[in-house]
Chains A and B, each alone.
Chain A
């Protein structure tokens, strides 16, 4: 068999579906190997190698944009949906790598594993979004999770980081076990673990009652597992501690990639395959959405640590995502996709600013991260651009036009109204009113208070590029959302 025929054969097996995440995983291994040969002085090439891997994979996604393929015996699928999420993950990863290039060196964790694990995590997330089979999805989730367990504890010397890792690990593994048990039950109920089989078994209402019970139990377990990953109340306990203790760039990565991956898997499983169970799940989701939004926003008000505040804010945003998931239907799910994209820019941007702000001269811990909210007092006077960027992200997170956050929320709430969930939309809107208070408090401190603790901004050029990209993305999605909204709609259409 010549090489061409081999390639042809692989292609026909649907190998194309695996190309994007395989490229990321291969780059991760390359980074790991390169780390062995690089001299300490050459380590600063690592982020660029990782970035090259991200770009390579992004190029492959772009190349395969109009393809559709199912590979590995119906385990993974390449369609617009997985391509969209792949792009979101790669975008997030790329920005995190840029932000990390200065941060990791500064904090003394510039090692090959750091970038390799980031890339492995991304490949796991991509696998989750393209999986059309439960065990494959589980594998993707575990690849992502295990990478994140390690990364959140990457500051080995710091108790907070170790604690972050421990809490994340225990609750994460706990959630995975629920998820796995749910998968086992689905397997028992439908005889297969592919989504297609699920749709066949439970797609119409005509399945036997006992199967229905089994499916409900399985759905419940699966839902618990995904809610953990999403950071939804009451499965959110790990979020604040892990977000606070983990390295800031990793926190950014977690809040964006891990949440988006959970949402992607959710849509594929519950939206596209188990739509007949929707009535049962939507009641549960309704409650989850309300408590998640409310708790996130209310508790965020009381925070004094900026990472912890953003952690609660990310819980609140998980709540908005749940609103969209409750609304379901093409409108609801495409609003999830748009939200996730907007969320990448604004949240990564906010964490990016946090990773760049450091305590200034004077004081024993000069150069350490300035994580107290009060450190942001008077930031505008000293670092106009940093403060302006942060202001844009805060305005966007609170959902004020003309920013990405506004249109994203508008999209979500209008999907909820369209689905008849008017009450949920009103609760959501009121919640986002509450959230304005703590987001604008940061703006208020930066612009209207005098400096209390001297802080300085990192001059990392890569970090600034990432921030600029986030600001641009936030504004672009706010002013011209139409083409991105179309992208989201098309992606959803590809899985129904």
Chain B
């Protein structure tokens, strides 16, 4: 009853797709941020799966790197959302459009 590699990859791809859809469709900046995280984690899942498949630890080490990067990104991202909220009183992506071509 083992879960096969391709099943893991399918889940990973699904997660990634959900993340992409979230970024493209949702309007709240926090939700968009979470969707990006979802995409990164989909990649992480793929890394772990491949590491398992290939029988190495490299993929798992990479995941640790990615988690660190993601943490930094989220920290900066939240700060930016905060600044946007302070200057514009909104976290809605559509309201943030003072510049137009």
Contacts A149-B76, A184-B46: A159 and B36 contacting too (C-beta < 8 A)? no
Choose from B79, B98, B101 the contact partner of A160 (Cβ within 8 Å): B98
Does B3 reach chain A (CB closer than 8 Å)?
Answer: no
**A287→B50 CA distance, assembly (Å):** 33
Chain B residues near A240 (CB-CB < 8 A): 99, 101
Contacts A138-B69, A193-B62: A177 and B83 contacting too (C-beta < 8 A)? no
Q: How many A-B residue pairs have CB under 8 A?
A: 120
Chain B residues near A192 (CB-CB < 8 A): 58
In the complex, the answer to whether B73 meets A142 with C-beta atoms within 8 Å is: yes
Choose from B50, B80, B88 the contact partner of A187 (Cβ within 8 Å): B50
Known: A165-B83, A185-B46, A303-B101. 16 other contacts (CB 8 A): A135-B62, A135-B65, A142-B72, A158-B87, A160-B99, A162-B86, A163-B84, A170-B33, A173-B33, A177-B39, A187-B58, A187-B62, A188-B46, A188-B54, A240-B99, A308-B99
Quote the shortest CB–CB distance from B94 to chain A (angstroms).
12
In the complex, the answer to whether B81 meets A166 with C-beta atoms within 8 Å is: yes
**A299→B96 CA distance, assembly (Å):** 22
Ordered nearest first, which 9 A-B pairs have the shortest CB separation?
A: A177-B39, A188-B50, A184-B46, A180-B43, A159-B87, A173-B36, A181-B43, A162-B83, A162-B84
**A177→B32 CA distance, assembly (Å):** 13
Instruction: Considering the complex, give the chain B residue whose CB is closest to the CB of A302.
Output: B101
In A161-215, which residues have CB < 8 Å from any B CB?
A: 162-163, 165-167, 169-170, 173-174, 176-178, 180-181, 183-185, 187-188, 191-193
Chain B positions 18 through 34: 1 when the CB is less than 8 Å from some CB of chain A, otherwise 0: 01100100000100110
**A188→B50 CA distance, assembly (Å):** 5
In the complex, the answer to whether B47 meets A187 with C-beta atoms within 8 Å is: yes
In the complex, the answer to whether A173 meets B66 with C-beta atoms within 8 Å is: no
Quote the shortest CB–CB distance from B87 to chain A (angstroms).
4
Chain B residues near A71 (CB-CB < 8 A): none
In the complex, the answer to whether A181 meets B76 with C-beta atoms within 8 Å is: no
Quote the shortest CB–CB distance from B72 to chain A (angstroms).
6
Chain B positions 53 through 75: 1 when the CB is less than 8 Å from some CB of chain A, otherwise 0: 11010110010011001001100
22 A-B pairs with C-beta separation under 8 A: A138-B69, A139-B65, A149-B80, A153-B83, A156-B83, A157-B87, A162-B80, A162-B84, A165-B80, A169-B77, A170-B23, A170-B29, A170-B93, A177-B16, A177-B43, A180-B66, A181-B42, A183-B43, A184-B43, A187-B50, A188-B53, A193-B62
**A146→B72 CA distance, assembly (Å):** 8
In the complex, the answer to whether B69 meets A142 with C-beta atoms within 8 Å is: yes
Instruction: Considering the complex, give the chain B residue whose CB is closest to the CB of A149.
Output: B76
**A142→B101 CA distance, assembly (Å):** 29
Chain B residues near A163 (CB-CB < 8 A): 84, 88, 96-99
Contacts A174-B36, A184-B43, A185-B46: A245 and B73 contacting too (C-beta < 8 A)? no
**Contact size range, B:** 35 or more
Chain A residues near B23 (CB-CB < 8 A): 170, 174
In the complex, the answer to whether A241 meets B99 with C-beta atoms within 8 Å is: yes
Chain A residues near B73 (CB-CB < 8 A): 142, 146, 173, 176
**A159→B98 CA distance, assembly (Å):** 8
**A251→B95 CA distance, assembly (Å):** 23
Chain B positions within 8 Å of A, measured between CB atoms, are: 9, 12, 16, 19-20, 23, 29, 32-33, 36, 39-40, 42-43, 46-47, 49-50, 53-54, 56, 58-59, 62, 65-66, 69, 72-73, 76-77, 79-81, 83-84, 86-88, 93, 96-99, 101
Quote the shortest CB–CB distance from B34 to chain A (angstroms).
11
Chain A residues near B62 (CB-CB < 8 A): 135, 187, 193
Quote the shortest CB–CB distance from B54 to chain A (angstroms).
5
Instruction: Considering the complex, give the chain B residue whose CB is closest to the CB of A142.
Output: B69
Instruction: Considering the complex, give the chain A residue whose CB is closest to the CB of B85.
Output: A162
In the complex, the answer to whether B101 meets A299 with C-beta atoms within 8 Å is: yes
Chain B residues near A180 (CB-CB < 8 A): 39-40, 43, 66
Instruction: Considering the complex, give the chain B residue whose CB is closest to the CB of A183.
Output: B43
Chain B residues near A299 (CB-CB < 8 A): 101
Does A150 reach chain B (CB closer than 8 Å)?
Answer: yes
Chain A residues near B16 (CB-CB < 8 A): 177, 181
Instruction: Considering the complex, give the chain A residue whose CB is closest to the CB of B72.
Output: A146
Does A244 reach chain B (CB closer than 8 Å)?
Answer: yes
Chain A residues near B47 (CB-CB < 8 A): 184, 187
In the complex, the answer to whether A150 meets B88 with C-beta atoms within 8 Å is: no
**A183→B44 CA distance, assembly (Å):** 10
In the complex, the answer to whether A153 meets B101 with C-beta atoms within 8 Å is: no
Instruction: Considering the complex, give the chain B residue whose CB is closest to the CB of A134.
Output: B62
**A240→B9 CA distance, assembly (Å):** 37
In A372-401, which residues have CB < 8 Å from any B CB?
A: none
**Which of A138, A139, A188 has the most chain B CB atoms closer than 10 A to its own CB?**
A188
In the complex, the answer to whether B36 meets A177 with C-beta atoms within 8 Å is: yes
In the complex, the answer to whether A191 meets B54 with C-beta atoms within 8 Å is: yes
Quote the shortest CB–CB distance from A385 to chain B (angstroms).
31
Quote the shortest CB–CB distance from B38 to chain A (angstroms).
9
Choose from A135, A169, A191, A244 the contact partner of B80 (Cβ within 8 Å): A169
Chain B residues near A178 (CB-CB < 8 A): 39
Chain B residues near A245 (CB-CB < 8 A): 99
Chain A residues near B97 (CB-CB < 8 A): 163
